[in-house]
Amino acid sequence: MIQLPDLTGRRAVVTGANTGLGFVSAASLARAGADVVVTARDGTKGTAALERIHREQPEARLSLAHLDLADLGSVAAFAGEQLRSGPLDILMNNAGLMLVPQRQWTKDGFELQMGVNHLGHFALTSRLLPLLEQSTSGRVVSLSSLAHRITGPLDPRLGSVGSYDALGNYSQSKLACALFGFELDRRLKAAGSSVSSVVAHPGYCATELFSRQPQPGLVDRLTGAVALVVGSRPQHGVQSQLRAATDANLHGGELLGPRFLIRGGPVRERPASNARDLASASLLWDLSGAVTGAVFDL
């Protein structure tokens, strides 16, 4: 388990923080002294998460905010509220969906996994970047997955047309998260920004992503069972994204993951070649901006 620095006086936003990796991230950042904005799509679950953290940490500085990454209107409303709250030091783009059995759509017409995992976070980051710029060392963390290593090059259709495969579309969405995180850092550096962007993945982690579907298929159930046996628990899987968010020795553009690939302490690792492709990263940036309307001042 890594030791977090003193985060007193620093403010963090963690998406999807009512459960799994997001919950452990929010609790860990709060324990280190940060003021943490816990976002959740379900208000009841979000409230329960805050109450659970407060039972263990009565002095934790937490606030709950509604955020549905499958709805760009919700993203805009949340960001508008945050713009009145002062500088932001950490944006942890954690929320995600996995293995949605049939193709589904976000409110804005994007394939659901790509819409929540990447496009919603792309739009959110663009809106919160002015707050991150107000920090002396703002940090954006994009959560990718080992699955980015098992997919091909970026599909510019972003999962919206063609045949649908739950794992294939999930893998493409997590490739998009990595491509975005690296491209964001390149553009931040080119603009002379003090903000940095780091990508992380949890390895093979047993979280509620494996049990969230109402009618999981046999493959989904077996995948979840294997994760419970060989995968790490959230409190261990979360270490990569916590280091990505807080390690001052990281300068942006890194990928962090477990030392032994599926589990272990967080270390820097080399991304798959498809995540290092500059042409794909630039294409994804342009496509994401076009479909979401998000604009970065970079």
Q: Please state the domain extents for the chain.
A: 11-290
Task: Please confirm, yes or no, whether 170 is among the known catalytic residues.
Answer: yes
Residue 5 neighbours by CB distance under 10 Å: 12
Contact 195, 129 (CB under 8 A): yes
CA distance 140 to 133: 11
Helix (H) or strand (E) run with residue 196 in it: strand 196-200
Residue 230 neighbours by CB distance under 10 Å: 11
CA distance 56 to 48: 13
Residue 112 neighbours by CB distance under 10 Å: 18
The pTM for the full model equals: 0.92
Contact 49, 26 (CB under 8 A): yes
Strand duo 255-258 + 90-93: pairing: unpaired
Listed ranges 104-113, 221-230, 253-262; the one with the highest mean pLDDT: 104-113
Residue 221 pLDDT? 45
Chain centroid to Cα 87, Å, comes to 20
pLDDT in tens, 156-210: 999 999 899 999 999 999 999 999 999 999 999 999 999 999 999 998 755 444 4
pLDDT in tens, 71-91: 999 999 999 999 999 999 999
Angle between helical axes of 20-31 and 43-56 (0-180°, round to 10): 40
Beta bridge pairs of residue 64: 38
- Name the superfamily (CATH) of residues 11-290: NAD(P)-binding Rossmann-like Domain (3.40.50.720)
Strand duo 266-268 + 255-258: pairing: antiparallel
For residues 213-223, give the mean pLDDT: 45
The token pair that represents 146 in the structure block:
């080992």
CA distance 67 to 78: 6
Residue 233 pLDDT? 61
Nearest to 232 by CA among 193, 196, 202, 199: 202
Percent of the chain topping pLDDT 70: 90
DSSP 230-248: HSBPHHHHTHHHHHHHH-T
CA distances to 112, 150, 214 from 99, rounded to whole Å, are: 10, 15, 11
Contact 49, 21 (CB under 8 A): no
CA distance 167 to 179: 18
Mean pLDDT of the chain: 91
Of 23, 78, 110, 170, catalytic: 170
Alpha helices by DSSP H, listed for the chain, are 20-31, 43-56, 72-82, 112-114, 120-133, 166-190, 218-230, 234-237, 239-246, 278-292
pLDDT in tens, 251-265: 999 999 998 867 789
Contact 94, 15 (CB under 8 A): yes
For residues 239-254, give the mean pLDDT: 98
Beta bridge pairs of residue 175: none
CA distances to 116, 124, 229 from 174, rounded to whole Å, are: 11, 17, 23
pLDDT in tens, 139-149: 999 999 999 99
